[in-house]
């Protein structure tokens, strides 16, 4: 069966939107939660972890892994949808 008609421009625009969304999350967990807001967040506790400290030493790294996983999956879907596999 023929795939959809190749639409490189459409693929690229969709890819840029995806990147913007993922990079915003990347910036939020690392620079905002892990550094800029670390002191107010440290007033909150997650078990024995002050929350800001936890983001800086643990949470941000887990989020990075998830971000790349989401990207690798979504990029596969986009390539199929726009016929550029």
Partner 1 sequence: MGIQDWTYVMVGLTFSIYIGIAVWSRARSTRGFYVAGRGVPALANGMATGADWMSAASFISMAGLISFMGYTGTIYLMGWTGGYVLLALLLAPYLRKFGKYTVPDFVGERYYSQAARIVAVFCAIFVSFTYVAGQMRGVGVVFSRFLEVPVEQGVLIGMALVFIYATLGGMRGITYTQVAQYVVLIIAYLIPAVAISYKITGNPIPQLGFGDQIASGEHAGRYLLEALDGIHRDLGFPEYTAAFVPGKKPMIDVLAITAALMIGTAGLPHVLIRFYTVKSARAARWSAMWALVFIAILYTTAPAVATFARVNMIETLHQTPYDEAPAWFKTWEETKLIAFDDKDGDGVIRYSGDATLNELTVDRDIMVLANPEIANLPAWVIALVAAGALAAALSTAAGLLLVISSAVSHDLFKSVVKPDLSEEGELWLARAAAGVAVVVAGILGIYPPGFVAQVVAFAFGLAASSFFPILVLGIFSRRTTKEGAIAGMVSGIGLTAAYIIYFKFIDTTAGADAYWFGISPEGIGTVGMLLNFAVTMAVSQVTAPPPEDVQRMVEEVRLPREA
User: Which residues here bind partner 1, judged by CB under 8 A?
Assistant: 6, 8, 11-12, 15, 19, 22-23, 26, 30-31, 34-36, 38-39, 42, 46-50, 52-54, 56-58, 60-62, 64-65, 67-69, 71-72, 75-76, 79, 84-85
**3 state SS of 29:** helix
CA angle 26, 69, 47 (to 5 degrees): 60
Q: CB-wise, 2 or 48, nearer to partner 1? A: 48
In the complex, the smallest distance separating the C-beta of residue 1 from partner 1, rounded to whole angstroms, is 17
Which is nearest to 1 in space by CA: 56, 76, 80, 67? 80
In the complex, the smallest distance separating the C-beta of residue 75 from partner 1, rounded to whole angstroms, is 6
In the complex, the smallest distance separating the C-beta of residue 5 from partner 1, rounded to whole angstroms, is 13
- Written as six digits, the tokens of 43 are 């007033």
Which is nearest to 59 in space by CA: 26, 24, 36, 23? 26
């Amino acid at each position: 069966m023929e795939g959809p008609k190749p639409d490189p421009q459409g693929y690229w625009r969709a890819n840029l939107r995806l990147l913007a969304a993922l990079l915003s999350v990347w910036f939020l967990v690392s620079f905002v939660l892990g550094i800029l807001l670390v002191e107010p967040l440290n007033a909150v506790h997650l078990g024995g972890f002050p929350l800001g400290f936890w983001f800086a030493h643990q949470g941000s790294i887990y989020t990075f892994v998830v971000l790349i996983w989401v990207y690798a999956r979504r990029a596969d879907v986009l390539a199929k949808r726009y016929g550029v596999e």
